[in-house]
Amino acid sequence: YVFGKKKATEVAHLIWKRVVQNGDTVIDATCGNGYDTLAMLKMVADELGRGRVYGMDIQGDALKSTSSLLDESVTLKEKALTLLFEEVILIIYTHVVLTETQCVQKELVKLFSICHSRMEEIVPENSPVRLVAFNLGYLPGGDKTITTVSETTQLALEAAKKILIPGGLISLVVYVGHPGGMEELETVEAFASGLSVDNWICCKFQMLNRPLAPVLVLLFKRYRGELHTLV
Ligand code: SAM
């Protein structure tokens, strides 16, 4: 039902929401146009200003796009605050600021123009990472020849595995319809298949009657000695 009605990315977001908590540190390994970054920001931001999203992309255009998307959302919040300072009816403030889609704090996001295989270099050592998300393939609306590639995806998965905390999730949306996409899915699946059963729960959602639909791969890191709360 869920997959029939929604895109793979929307399904991924629903699952992230079950794992991620306010105040968490999370990583968007492929910012692209910023939709995942924004979704993550809304999940981690809390009123104390905790929660961090570390985002990365190898294309400057992608980071600009992500930054603009965050700016648009922040503008809405600033407008709401202006209304408050002008002492316009509190109900307007409450409605505008607390609406989930509008309440964001851009300063909680750090964007980096680097390959995701280097993610360990940008996340502070004392920050437990609860989610590392990949949305593989090319930048929608950009140059379709610039895509994620198996070799660096594999390195990034190894890095993600090291920095993820127990109870955390590595999430991948893998597009198989472009050159190299199917090979990349094989790399991801081989990586997942090699993870220890004692420490990881690895699964995928795939549309069997739509062979070119994106595949969602989820790698849950178990709490020591416990089953993951989701599974
Ligand atoms: N998550 C994005 C969104 O919500 O709009 C879409 C991501 S798009 C499908 C894939 C992105 O991965 C592209 O912007 C591309 O530049 C980026 N990318 C490709 N290789 C990369 C690498 N080695 N490290 C980080 N990003 C990479």
pLDDT tens track for 47-82: 788 899 999 999 999 999 999 999 888 666 555 555
Which pLDDT belongs to residue 231?
Answer: 46
Please indicate, yes or no, if residue 230 is contained in any of the structural domains. Answer: no
- Domain membership of residue 125 (yes or no) is yes
As a whole number, the mean pLDDT across the chain is 86
Domain of 41 in residue numbering reads as 2-221
Mean pLDDT of 139-167: 97
Which residue's alpha carbon is at the smallest distance from atom 19 of ligand 1?
148
Count of structural domains, the chain: 1
229 lies in a domain? no
| Residue 168 resides in a domain | yes
Q: Which amino acid is at 205?
A: F
Residue 105 pLDDT: 61
Residue 59 Cα: closest atom of ligand 1? 16
**ipTM for the assembly:** 0.98
Distance from residue 76's CA to the centre of ligand 1 (Å): 26
65: Cβ below 6 Å to ligand 1? no
- Taking the centre of ligand 1 as the mean of its atom positions, its distance from the CA of residue 199, in whole angstroms, is 28
> At CB < 8 A and 24+ separation, what contacts does 210-214 make?
211/176, 212/176, 212/177, 213/8, 214/7, 214/8, 214/9, 214/173, 214/174, 214/175, 214/176
**In-domain check, residue 20:** yes
pLDDT of the residue at 73: 80
Give distance in angstroms: CA of 34 to centre of ligand 1.
10
Question: For position 61, what pLDDT does the model report?
Answer: 95
